[in-house]
Chain A
Amino acid sequence: MEAIVSIAIGILTGSGVWLLLRPRTFQVIIGLSLLSYAVNLFIFSTGGLRIGAPPILQRGEAGTLAQYADPLPQALVLTAIVISFATTALFLVLLLAARGLTGTDHVDGREPER
């Protein structure tokens, strides 16, 4: 299973990085989305891949890591997901404003000279 998730992270990272290096703002925003999936998955996976052990305790119980998946990376990723939505929104608005101001959607705010 670890191999599958690793490859998935690799593919998401690769596609994200490729798009990050593209000249159009929309490509960059899509790239950032893909990259944030990759990073979230990576952080999540640092807690180990456990099946059927969500960190939901029984009432009155002091749990152990043997019974339950590591909750800490999950908590980290949960806020990261929400924040990445916020940054995507911010970037989108910047992109639109830049396009309105400069008339181009190139990341440098002007078309490259040919």
Chain B
Amino acid sequence: MSASLLLLLVLPFAGAIAAGLLPTYARNAASWLAGAVALGCLAVVWGTFPTVLSGSTVRYEAEWMPSVGLSFVLRMDGLAWLFSGLVTGIGALVVLYARYYMSDEDPVPRFFAFLLAFMGSMTGVVISGNLIQIAFFWELTSLFSFLLIGYWHQSAAARDGARIALTVTATGGLALFAGILVLGHIAGSYDLDAVLAAGERIRSHPLHLPALILILLGALTKSAQFPFHFWLPHAMAAPTPVSAYLHSATLVKAGVFLLARLWPVFAGTDGWFWIVGTAGLVTLVLGAYIAIFQHDLKGLLAYSTISHLGLITLLLGLGTELGLVAAVFHMMNHATFKASLFMAAGIVDHETGTRDIRRLSGLSRSMPFTSRLAMVAAAAMAGVPLLNGFLSKEMFFAEALSAPAPVPLLLDVLPLVAVIASAFSVTYSLRFIHGAFFGPDPVDLPRQPHEPPAWMRFPVEILVLTCVLVGVVPGATVGPFLHTAVQSVLGAATPEYSLAVWHGFNLPLLMSGIALVGGILLYMALQPHLWKGIDGPPLLRAFEGRRMFERTMVFLSWRLARSAERVFGTRRLQPQLRLILCVTLLAGVSAVLLRGAGPGNLTPSHVDPVLACAWAVGGACALGAAWKAKYHRLAALLLVGGAGLVTCLTFIWFSAPDLALTQLLVEVVTTVLLLLGLRWLPKRFQLPGRAGPEVIPRTRRLADLSIAVAAGLGMAALAFGVMTRMPPDLLARHFIERAYTEGGGTNVVNVILVDFRGFDTLGEITVLAAVALTVYALLRRFRPAADSVDVPEQQTAQSAYDRERPDRQEGDTVADWLLVPSVIARLLFPIIALVALYLLVRGHDLPGGGFAAGLTASIGLLLQYMTSGTQITEARVQVHPLRWMGLGLLLGAGTGLGAWLVARPFMTTYFGYAELPLVGKVPVASALLFDIGVFMLVVGATVLMLIALAHQSLRGHRAAPRRPQMREPDLAEAPAVGRARED
């Protein structure tokens, strides 16, 4: 039984996916599928009825996040049952209706996919037994209603309507989520049953009001209550089946459903009464008033929906048990008559081509059946006796007369307002019927009106029949459903109420009579005004929610954002960096100020003059690089190399041979890389006679200098502080102890890299691969700046010398100049490769490893490129850096995955020693394989980057426009170029 709830939730989504996969114009298949899913869901809902009727709750629970006490709960009680029935039942009718409504040109499967997904989300809201889940499905309904409203996305009105609906309801949904978090915090659990049981505690909690307001923001936006009502009329741009579904039984009912669901928790407090009651009251009257003056059939129904939702909200806001009964009853009644009215309006639209009341008239002759059905449904909406709308309206009147209110005055006002709003609803119902179906024969309609296909009318017939049946014999038809629904909310507090049609002559009946007569009189009095065909209601025309919404959106998303960007943002890098550095400095200084800084617990070791001298040079190099980087790039580059070498020396001095090795090798490749890049940068000369920078730049430089000095001093102090302290225990103890016994290597650093923290290393080589690929991709489309692609002067002269002699080819002199280095490099290549291999193999035990070996190998290749030139090298050595990288990554990840084969966690390593002839004992750990992966990737990535950059010089030569003095034969072309420019 409980698993059927899961089925009920999953089935619509599965159906949605299946429908989405159908071919675009498979209208019938999609309809059958959607209909079957909806009926299947209805059957599941029906199957749970016996349990629900007996007063118990069907519950499905699965662990979700047990660590924070969250479970995935589905629960079906009376109220949830009632709503699931409405959602799936009316859903099935809407599917049938939509089959005939949607045209062949529309991609119908997509429509049904959205519709089914929406049905699933709505079911999720209704049967969730966990507040977080409710918020989740709530947002899903917003999303899918957005897709449904904007289904005809070629129309601007549909897009706007969808956007407004999404903005309003999803914003409300966020507020709801926040409110639910607060509520769960107060109640100590997100489980709905626990929250409902904790009502007393929640109401007395200081955070009660914030939680209430946030949750109400969600519910009232969803149910289109004043002042958030404006999104609903714009959502009428949706296909009519969507309107019939969303605005009768589902989307807008989610808000009032939630109010009813949480009614036991919140109802009865002053905050609830004032907020919910006022919103409902204002919406009830306002919606009905505006509805009278709508010329669009669907617009009229939209405002009438707003008004009826206001009525339900008001009933819930009163906080009385009987009010809740009336509210739940009216939710059902409204769903039936409103869905049928929307469908009827859709039929009129479908068969005549217009929904404008001013153009429609006399349709009762051409569509007799539809018009009769619409009349009955509209009468139900107006509250005519013997129809279901009458019963709930009577209940409302009775409540309006008897509800206790915090302010006595309200008691006098409420019945009056109720009668007025009711009269309004009679007026707009009359307008709907009289305007469309009575009067002279219509003229000049886009289509010749006639009855729709019988199956298109069928859903309307079912719904209208329900209206009549409920209206005539309420006790026998909805009695049990209503009772279980109310009982599931109120429990033992369920009041006595009577569903009879006739209660004798009493005050509510009198009020109904007054409303009916008043409504008819008002309609007659308004005839002259309505015939003028003015848009919008009198008095309220200026207050258009849509315009205010748009203005707010423009303000928030454009003006506010722009001014915030103007005030706080900059597109310039330097101020941003300055800000980051200042904040960092401030953070460091404040930490010292707040926590204090004392001397360390270690005494500094004595100063070695050799290293001190080395750092005197290194420091001078760094300062020199900083000084020269603007005008003397090559010098700066060399100076940076100097600082790097001293750093390297420091590493080896202080027992880090691996670091020193890697640093040295990286130093080489970095320098080559930057050298390759130098020629693409603009020439910059320090003009000799020029005075220093002006005042403002000078102060800026002074500020930068002080930031730099402060950062340097801060880092020095921090480093000294750290170095003179010894923490009580180090993580490294663990690594040193086990490097050999468990990792099988004596080089602890390497064992950490390839074994203990192998996963990190895998991540790092992946980063390396990504960077190399990015560099490669960027350089493929590289367009160098025009002035930086000249061939260097020396090379130009050498090439010119070659050209002058017939026995020489261009480039020969360059090759000659580098003959000795290139021969040496060629001879060195196998030796360097051997060294790389040696470093790789011994890495696990002695300084070396994949990183160092990879860099060594790429330096070997690099030397070939530098001394022999790109073409010659590539003619002899085929390098496929991309393959190397791919293999390296595969090997690294594969070694890790290999551990799974022997049922060990990812990246578990195996080790042993193998006896090789001549070589001796060699460590063979699976970590070595991983290290080979690192090696291959480093080779591939480094070579890829450097070669990609080196190839630019080939391209540069090709792309470079030759200088005018060098291309004597091309002089004739110059005028042609000039002409081309004039064109």
CB distance from B757 to the nearest CB of A (A): 7
- Does B732 lie within 8 Å of A70, measured CB to CB? yes
B722, CB-defined interface residue at 8 Å = yes
- Does B730 lie within 8 Å of A72, measured CB to CB? yes
B36, CB-defined interface residue at 8 Å = no
CB distance from B883 to the nearest CB of A (A): 19
Known contacts A10-B715, A57-B739, A86-B767; A34 and B572 CB within 8 A of each other: no
- Does A6 lie within 8 Å of B716, measured CB to CB? yes
Main secondary structure of the interface of A (DSSP, over half): helix
- Does A63 lie within 8 Å of B737, measured CB to CB? yes
- Contact size class for B? 35 or more
- Does A8 lie within 8 Å of B782, measured CB to CB? no
- Does A83 lie within 8 Å of B707, measured CB to CB? no
Contacts of A10 on B, CB cut-off 8 Å? 712-713, 715-717, 719
Known contacts A75-B753, A81-B666; A56 and B747 CB within 8 A of each other: yes
Known contacts A7-B716, A18-B708, A72-B732; A30 and B640 CB within 8 A of each other: yes
- Does A96 lie within 8 Å of B782, measured CB to CB? yes
Contacts of B705 on A, CB cut-off 8 Å? 18
Q: A-facing mask of B599-612, CB < 8 A → 1, else 0?
A: 00010111110011
- Does B737 lie within 8 Å of A64, measured CB to CB? yes
CB distance from A53 to the nearest CB of B (A): 5
Contacts of A108 on B, CB cut-off 8 Å? 571-574
- Does A4 lie within 8 Å of B779, measured CB to CB? no
B879, CB-defined interface residue at 8 Å = no
Interface residue count on the A side (C-beta < 8 Å): 93
B938, CB-defined interface residue at 8 Å = yes
**Which of B424-432, B448-456, B616-624 lines the interface with chain A?**
B616-624
Known contacts A7-B716, A17-B707, A74-B659; A100 and B782 CB within 8 A of each other: yes
Contacts of B884 on A, CB cut-off 8 Å? none
Q: A-facing mask of B703-737, CB < 8 A → 1, else 0?
A: 01101110111111111101110100011110111
Known contacts A2-B605, A30-B625; A78 and B574 CB within 8 A of each other: no
CB distance from A16 to the nearest CB of B (A): 8
CB distance from B219 to the nearest CB of A (A): 49
- Does A4 lie within 8 Å of B682, measured CB to CB? no
Contacts of A59 on B, CB cut-off 8 Å? 740, 746
B577, CB-defined interface residue at 8 Å = yes
A12 to B650, CA, bound (A): 14
A55 to B751, CA, bound (A): 11
Contacts of B152 on A, CB cut-off 8 Å? none
Contacts of B731 on A, CB cut-off 8 Å? 72
The A/B interface has a contact count, at CB < 8 Å, of 344
Per a CB cutoff under 8 Å, which of B739, B771, B783 touches A89? Answer: B771
Which residue of A has the minimal Cβ distance to B942? A85
- Does B619 lie within 8 Å of A2, measured CB to CB? no
Contacts of A87 on B, CB cut-off 8 Å? 771
Known contacts A45-B723, A65-B733, A74-B749; A15 and B626 CB within 8 A of each other: yes
Contacts of A21 on B, CB cut-off 8 Å? 574, 577-578, 581, 704, 707-708
Per a CB cutoff under 8 Å, which of A42, A56, A71, A95 touches B732? Answer: A71
CB distance from A45 to the nearest CB of B (A): 5
Known contacts A7-B716, A13-B712, A15-B626; A56 and B748 CB within 8 A of each other: yes
- Does B573 lie within 8 Å of A57, measured CB to CB? no
B797, CB-defined interface residue at 8 Å = no
B637, CB-defined interface residue at 8 Å = yes
- Does A5 lie within 8 Å of B650, measured CB to CB? yes
B768, CB-defined interface residue at 8 Å = yes
- Does B604 lie within 8 Å of A54, measured CB to CB? no
Contacts of A96 on B, CB cut-off 8 Å? 677, 680-681, 782, 784
Q: Which residues on A are within 8 Å of B, measured CB to CB?
A: 1-27, 29-31, 33-34, 37-38, 40-42, 44-65, 68-72, 74-75, 77-79, 81-90, 92-97, 99-101, 103-105, 107-108
Known interface pairs A58-B746, A69-B656, A81-B659; 12 further A-B residue pairs with C-beta atoms within 8 A, sorted by A's residue number: A4-B607, A9-B716, A21-B574, A23-B574, A49-B654, A65-B732, A71-B752, A75-B753, A78-B658, A86-B941, A92-B949, A94-B778
Q: Can you pick out 25 interface pairs between chain A and chain B where the beta carbons lie within 8 Å of each other? A: A2-B724, A3-B720, A9-B715, A10-B715, A12-B619, A21-B581, A21-B708, A25-B681, A26-B633, A34-B625, A40-B647, A42-B715, A56-B845, A60-B741, A62-B736, A63-B736, A63-B737, A81-B659, A81-B663, A86-B941, A88-B674, A89-B673, A93-B782, A94-B778, A105-B682
Q: Which residues on B are within 8 Å of A, measured CB to CB?
A: 571-574, 577-578, 581, 602, 604-608, 611-612, 615, 618-619, 622-623, 625-626, 629-630, 633, 636-637, 640, 643-644, 646-647, 650-651, 653-659, 662-663, 666, 669-670, 673-674, 677, 680-682, 684, 704-705, 707-709, 711-720, 722-724, 726, 730-733, 735-741, 746-749, 752-753, 757, 760-761, 764, 767-768, 771-772, 774-775, 778-779, 782-786, 788, 845-847, 851, 855, 938, 941-942, 945, 949
